[in-house]
Amino acid sequence: MIPLLASKLILKCLERENVEYVFGYPGGAVLPLYEAFRTSPIKHILVRNEQAGPHYASGYARESGRVGVCLATSGPGATNLVTGIATAYLDSIPIVAITGQVDRALIGTDAFQEADITGATAPFTKHSYLVKNAADIPRIFREAFHIASTGRPGPVLIDIPRDVQLENVKTPLTWDKVEILGYNPTYTGHSGQIKRAVKKIKEANHPVIYAGGGVILGHAEKELLAFVEKNNIPVITSLMGIGSFPEDHPLYCGIVGSHGFEYSNVVMNASDLIINIGARMSNRATSNLTNFENNIEFVHIDIDPAEIGKNMEANIPIVGDAKTILIGLLEKDTVGEHTQWLSDIELMKVKYPLVYDADPPCSELINPKVLFRALSGMTSDNATMVADVGLNQIWSALYYRIIKDRKFFTSGGLGTMGYSIPAASGACFATLDNPKEIFVVCGDGSFQMGMGELGVIAEYQLNVNIILITNTKLGMVRQLQFDNYGKDHYSGTDLNFEIDFMKLAEAYGIKGFKVDNNADFEKVMPEAIKHKGPTLIQCQVHPDFIRI
């Protein structure tokens, strides 16, 4: 066997995993890897700040259904990845983060640009490796991709000392079998529990399905639709579950939680059986649910056994993969009688309608709710919407309709500002051969956390439309200040300097539009969508528009 330089071996391992893109940023501890990139078919995308790297990888992963890869040098490069890795962890997104490390002999000496990145990220990586021996590289890379993408997906970090990258190794390039004794995700549910669930579903008078991100991660949307239509059970989603079920379906019942629809919370509270499929029951989702004391039966389907019973006691726990379990349930006799329940729900929808109206002065500028409803009618059936964090996120989540093959990505678990621009760019790279409509929604605060990446968008002329909601405020925090302390208690939430975003767009060669009323938005947006290449659409919303 001819010896191979470990840095080249690493790229060969990535090739083997069918990696197309690495979202990276160079430095001393990864120089050997960058030398290897020159002659590798894998494309390196130079992000403009490592903080964006894991978000690119996340957007790429969510769009393509494959593992996203990001790369950074040791020390500050590696620590810049931390927030993005935590973001991917809380949303269960499969990414592999590769970091350079100082030479083995220097580890533990506080050497220049040394940081214990496996230690720093241990709480929010699914697993991590410090490569001490180049011969382990094929095994570690195979395991890392396997762990990231199977079971409950999540980020895996591989830390590689510089001198390991420079070793010559004689090792088989391929490593097909993965044998990890302590890792064996369960895909098929326990038949006894499934039997109990079948009985409960058939007997329930007021059943609802609560669908989470697990349905999307498990590619179980079709099975969910089939199950719902067979059983006539209404569906409520979590924020991460947006996209798991078409929002124009008569059995769709909105989004639950502190930032959900009022009627959805009312429906959930009136139910007698919740069938939770791949949702975490986080505090943000359940804070409006008051009825849990009153004999609501709770079937919890999740691939991660630790989620079941963590935030809420489950009467019937089913550990397994959403798709496999739904396919199993579809074969069973679960159909019950609840026409009364469905007509009750229609009444609830009427009693707690969505409110679009705004009063002056808010009504004098753009009404974001109306904006997103209108946008729903303009975008293609497979458009991807990537929302940042803040009011902009909630408005787009609630009022932009995810139907057919549309997708909705946001940082739901960690709520990381600055997610949208790099994540949407990652999604663009995933579809570069076959460009589709990809949208960013962000606020003026979150835009400024991600705007460094406009350089990448401009360089590759990514087909992304950035809908920038400007209210010159950190709107959502301002809303919290208003709700908690009253109207004279705003503090630290003014973005006082009014940026000329049109000039900024121009500086990057990005086509800019600026609108301050809904009619104009509806006029320019189709033009922006038609435009080949990136656009920035600045939409002015009144600072006091703080209702969702």
Partner 1 sequence: MEKKTCLSLLVENNFGVLSRISGLFARRGYNIDSLTVGTTEDAKFSRITITVTGDEQILIQIKKQLNKLIDVITVIELKPEESITRELVFIKVKTDDITRSQIVEIANMFRANIVDVARESLVIEITGTRHKIEGFFNMIEPYGILEFVRSGDTGLQRGAHVLSF
Out of 77, 94, 100, 475, the only residue in the binding site for Mg ion (CB under 5 A) is: 475
Q: Give the C-alpha separation, 152 to 302, whole Å.
A: 9
User: Which SS3 state, helix, strand or coil, does residue 13 take?
Assistant: helix
Which value, in Å, is the radius of gyration of the alpha carbons in the chain? 24
Out of 110, 177, 182, 433, the only residue in the binding site for partner 1 (CB under 8 A) is: 182
Residue 477 engages ligand TPP in binding (rule: CB under 6 A): yes
- Residue 494 phi/psi, 5-degree rounding, is -90, 130
Residue 132 engages partner 1 in binding (rule: CB under 8 A): yes
Q: Give the C-alpha separation, 481 to 349, whole Å.
A: 30
Out of 37, 473, 538, 545, the only residue in the binding site for ligand TPP (CB under 6 A) is: 473
Residues 439-458 touching Mg ion, rule: CB under 5 A, are 443-445
Q: Give the C-alpha separation, 488 to 479, whole Å.
A: 12
Residue count of the chain: 548
Residue 389: name its binding partner from partner 1, ligand TPP, Mg ion, none (Cβ under 5 to 8 Å by kind). Answer: ligand TPP
To partner 1, the closest distance from the beta carbon of 185 in angstroms equals: 10
Q: Give the C-alpha separation, 154 to 147, whole Å.
A: 8
Residues 297-316 touching partner 1, rule: CB under 8 A, are 304-306, 309-310
Q: Give the C-alpha separation, 27 to 100, whole Å.
A: 8
To Mg ion, the closest distance from the beta carbon of 421 in angstroms equals: 15
Task: State which residue, 264 or 471, has the beta carbon closest to Mg ion.
Answer: 471
To Mg ion, the closest distance from the beta carbon of 466 in angstroms equals: 14
Q: Are 398 and 256 in contact (CB under 8 A)?
A: no
Task: State which residue, 240 or 389, has the beta carbon closest to Mg ion.
Answer: 389
Q: Are 367 and 265 in contact (CB under 8 A)?
A: no
Residue 422 engages ligand TPP in binding (rule: CB under 6 A): no
Out of 474, 515, 528, 529, the only residue in the binding site for ligand TPP (CB under 6 A) is: 474
Residue 99 engages ligand TPP in binding (rule: CB under 6 A): no
Task: State which residue, 308 or 548, has the beta carbon closest to ligand TPP.
Answer: 548
Q: Give the C-alpha separation, 467 to 424, whole Å.
A: 12
Query: Which residue minimizes CB distance to ligand TPP?
Result: 443
Taking the C-alpha atoms of 231, 234, 240 and 243 in order, what is their torsion angle to the nearest 10 degrees?
Answer: 70
Q: Are 466 and 536 in contact (CB under 8 A)?
A: yes
Q: Give the C-alpha separation, 55 to 431, whole Å.
A: 16
Residue 499 engages ligand TPP in binding (rule: CB under 6 A): no
- Residue 356 phi/psi, 5-degree rounding, is -100, -25
Out of 46, 180, 330, 335, the only residue in the binding site for partner 1 (CB under 8 A) is: 180
Task: State which residue, 141 or 545, has the beta carbon closest to ligand TPP.
Answer: 545
Interface ranges with partner 1 (CB under 8 A): 118-119, 122-123, 126-130, 132, 147, 180-183, 304-306, 309-310
Interface ranges with ligand TPP (CB under 6 A): 388-392, 415-417, 443-446, 469, 471, 473-477
